[in-house]
Structure 1
Amino acid sequence: MMNNLFSIFDPTTNIFNLPLNWISTLIGLMFIPYTFWLIPNRQFIFWNLILNKLHNEFKMLLKINSFKGSTFIFISLFTFILLNNFLGLFPYIFTSTSHISISLSISLSLWLSFMLYGWINNYQHMFIHMIPQGTPLILMPFMVMIETISNIIRPSTLAVRLTANMIAGHLLLTLLSSTSNNLSFFMLLILIFTQILLLILESAVAIIQAYVISILSTLYSSEVN
């Protein structure tokens, strides 16, 4: 039974007080054996094409100073978020990316690793990055303060962006479906058509959000080199 509107996002399914809803995060591992087929199928070829496009784009954003294989970190991030966003569109599957605990854990760990690497190895570059070129001398303290604040809030903005987009779509679908009990047949058809359009929109949002998070993480990492 739903206690309030946001209780649909609570991990309430449990056995021996173990929240089983979070197991949905690992469902994406079921798709990994496709990559070990001797003869690649069409799904594997299509997925490889997407990964190659992402690899080339991330490599261009990371520039020549990046380490070899560093693009696979962001490709893995894109794949993880994409699978969890898509799986959340299916009935009775828990959307882990709609919780701030998952999205903040991902963004905070990435941001913290970038900051530690940058300040330990390239501290001069990190100081220079705080003051844009051509800034007047009187504005330099304010620019340092603004850049520091904007740098600190980066993980929270990444987490809130992903969580808010996932929650908004799911709440809208839930609100529309809750009104179906007292509708006429004609209005019910309109509601079903609207739900289908919203599911298509949510599928696009799932792809876009995974792409945006991975691209922004790549841009943040390129600033520390």
Structure 2
Amino acid sequence: MSLARAGKLDDAMDLIDKMPFEANASIWGALLGAARIHKNIELGKRAAEMLFILEPEKSGTHVLLANIYASARSWGNVAKVRRLMKDNKVKKEPGMSWIEVKDKIYTFIVGNRSHSRSEEIYAKLEELGHLMTKAGYVPMIEIDLHAVGKREKELLLSYHSEKLAVAFALIATPPGTPIRVKKNLRICLDCHTAFKYICKIVSREIIIRDINRFHRFRDGSCSCGDYW
């Protein structure tokens, strides 16, 4: 919704309340995304509650709601979302990313090391990590819902499937060529932030097609305007 994207959340809710039909999951999903961007806890909670009814099997709603609470440092509510997922037996779908190189499709899963060039891929990720840190990047460990320590969270974030795919592309494709990756889930906030740094560091255009939209990273910014 354009109103929500522009930050006019009250106007967006007023429009929904006056619509002659019930809002669907796409509308509530757009509001949940807007609530995350604008850190509006109340709207995020309401949108999530509707999505729990409309799409109870989708784990993405829980993750986004937890991210909203985490951004407000409401750790008690983050814990409640985790318990809700556990009680309702909602499991987060594993992230998978695909990339085509020389007419062959390569698939990556978070933390996987079965690729024949895994050692090079992880070395490239470590190199990028150092360069991003120097440029000001800070891992967003608050968005990771695993019950592990800070360092473990940082490692889990750095090994997300889309980061593995991009690292592989950097060692397997010609310098300067665009990198195109497909992902089965919504790109996470940390990866989205990281790619804004990476595209500038390596001087390559990075295009991620996730479940919601295309993200074109170039010169330190994304075509989505940080809204997805």
TM class by shorter-chain length? under 0.3
| Greater helix fraction, Structure 1 or Structure 2 | 1
**Structure ID, larger Rg:** 1
Q: Relative CO higher for 1 or 2, CA cutoff 8 Å, sep ≥ 6?
A: 1
Q: Which has more strand, going by share of residues?
A: 2
